[in-house]
């Protein structure tokens, strides 16, 4: 039920105090914390203990530390980076399979696209079509522009997440993309036919979103992601276990 209160650890108390200050907005992104030698006085602790606390806060993604004059600990804008990193650890430690991540992505993209279909404004549709145009350009340039094409594909999915107006979907989708893209790179063969198929998918999705057809948009998005996933899993099996 409860976690053991290890309050004997001074550095933990320092971590808590600084973290709370950041989460409550008393310290804002970009703010500079006092120098270590000042902080140590403020917390009535030693420099070593203080530095252990700073290391943890750095690892949590709450601060960055720069050396040199005018250096020090600076408050960071918390981003999805730490979530991605811990997810990456899970995958590398083989607690989480690529299949699970892919299945999760399929579900999330489906929901996102379906919500976007109900909320897209005229300006949003324009932006989606702009991205489609970019995708077409890279498609016409052929398989050498595969990477450009893929990044437009990702941008389009993130644009859909943005249209939902729901930050949670945006963060989660960003994290999933960060992690799964590494494997796409490893397991996806770069063929022009695949680019072509995916381009057709994207056109269909944007059309359904424009027409407000939520169910259709969801289905298309899931199929789209699913095709990617199938290609990848075939390749993965050919490679054998890693």
Partner DNA sequence: ACTATTAGAATGGTTTAACTATTATAAAAA
Partner DNA sequence: TTTTTATAATAGTTAAACCATTCTAATAGT
Q: Which residues in this chain contact its own copies in the complex, by CB under 8 A? A: 11, 22-23, 48, 51-52, 55-56, 58-62, 78-80, 82-83, 85-87, 89-97, 100-101, 103-104, 107-108, 110-111, 115, 165-169, 171-172
Q: Which stretch binds DNA (CB under 7 A): 4-12, 115-123, 146-154, 156-164?
A: 4-12
Tell me the site size for DNA, rule CB under 7 A: 26
Pairing status of strand 63-66 against strand 72-75: antiparallel
- Answer with the entry of its own copies, DNA, none that 241 interacts with (C-beta below 5 to 8 A by kind): none
Which of residues 19, 31, 51, 124 is near DNA by CB under 7 A?
Answer: 51
State how far the Cα of 186 lies from the Cα of 236, in Å rounded to an integer. Answer: 9
For helices 167-187 and 98-119, what crossing angle results, to 10°? 130
φ/ψ (deg, to 5) at 74: -115, 135
Is 35 a residue that touches DNA (CB under 7 A)?
yes
Choose from DNA, its own copies, none: what does 70 bind? Cβ within 5-8 Å by kind.
Answer: DNA
State the angle between helix axes of 192-210 and 122-140 in degrees (0 to 180), rounded to the nearest 10. 170
Give the shortest CB-191-to-its own copies separation in angstroms.
25
What DSSP element (H or E) covers 66? strand 63-66
Given CA atoms 228, 231, 236, 239 in this order, what sign does their dihedral have?
A: negative
* Identified binder of DNA from the candidate list 28, 42, 59, 71, rule CB under 7 A: 71
Among 47, 133, 186, 196, binds DNA (CB under 7 A): 47
Using CB under 7 A as the binding rule, whether residue 201 contacts DNA is answered as no
Contact residues for 201 (Cβ-Cβ < 8 A; gap 6+): 220, 223, 224, 227
2 binds DNA (CB under 7 A): no
94 binds, among its own copies, DNA, none (CB under 5 to 8 A by kind): its own copies
Number of Cα atoms under 13 Å in the Cβ half of residue 43: 25
Tokens of residue 238, six digits: 């050919």
The answer to whether 15 contacts DNA (rule: CB under 7 A) is no
Residue with tokens 């063929």: 191
Shortest distance, CB of residue 124 to its own copies, whole angstroms?
Answer: 18
The nearest distance, CB 40 to DNA, in angstroms, is 8
With vertex at residue 237, the alpha carbon angle to CA 231 and CA 242, rounded to the nearest 5 degrees, is: 120
Q: Which parts of this chain interact with DNA (CB under 7 A)?
A: 8-11, 33, 35-37, 44-49, 51-52, 54, 65-73
């Amino acid at each position: 039920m409860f976690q053991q209160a290890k309050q004997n650890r001074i550095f933990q108390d320092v971590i808590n105090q600084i973290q709370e200050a950041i989460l409550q907005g008393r310290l804002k992104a970009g703010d500079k914390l006092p120098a270590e030698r000042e902080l140590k006085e403020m917390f009535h602790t030693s420099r070593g203990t203080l530095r252990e606390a700073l290391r943890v806060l750095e690892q949590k993604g709450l601060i960055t530390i720069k050396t040199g004059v005018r250096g020090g600990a600076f408050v960071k804008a918390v981003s999805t980076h730490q979530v991605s990193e811990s997810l990456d650890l899970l995958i590398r430690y083989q607690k989480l399979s690529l299949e699970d991540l892919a299945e999760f992505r399929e579900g999330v993209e489906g929901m996102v696209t379906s919500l976007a279909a109900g909320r897209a404004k005229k300006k949003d549709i324009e932006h989606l079509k702009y991205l489609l145009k970019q995708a077409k350009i890279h498609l016409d340039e052929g398989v050498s522009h595969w990477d450009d094409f893929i990044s437009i594909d990702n941008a389009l999915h993130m644009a859909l997440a943005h249209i939902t107006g729901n930050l949670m979907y945006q963060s989660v989708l960003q994290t999933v993309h960060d992690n799964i893209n590494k494997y796409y790179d490893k397991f996806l063969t770069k063929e022009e036919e695949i680019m072509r198929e995916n381009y057709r998918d994207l056109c269909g999705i944007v059309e359904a979103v424009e027409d407000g057809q939520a169910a259709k948009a969801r289905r298309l998005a899931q199929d789209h992601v699913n095709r990617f996933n199938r290609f990848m899993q075939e390749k993965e099996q050919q490679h054998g276990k890693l």
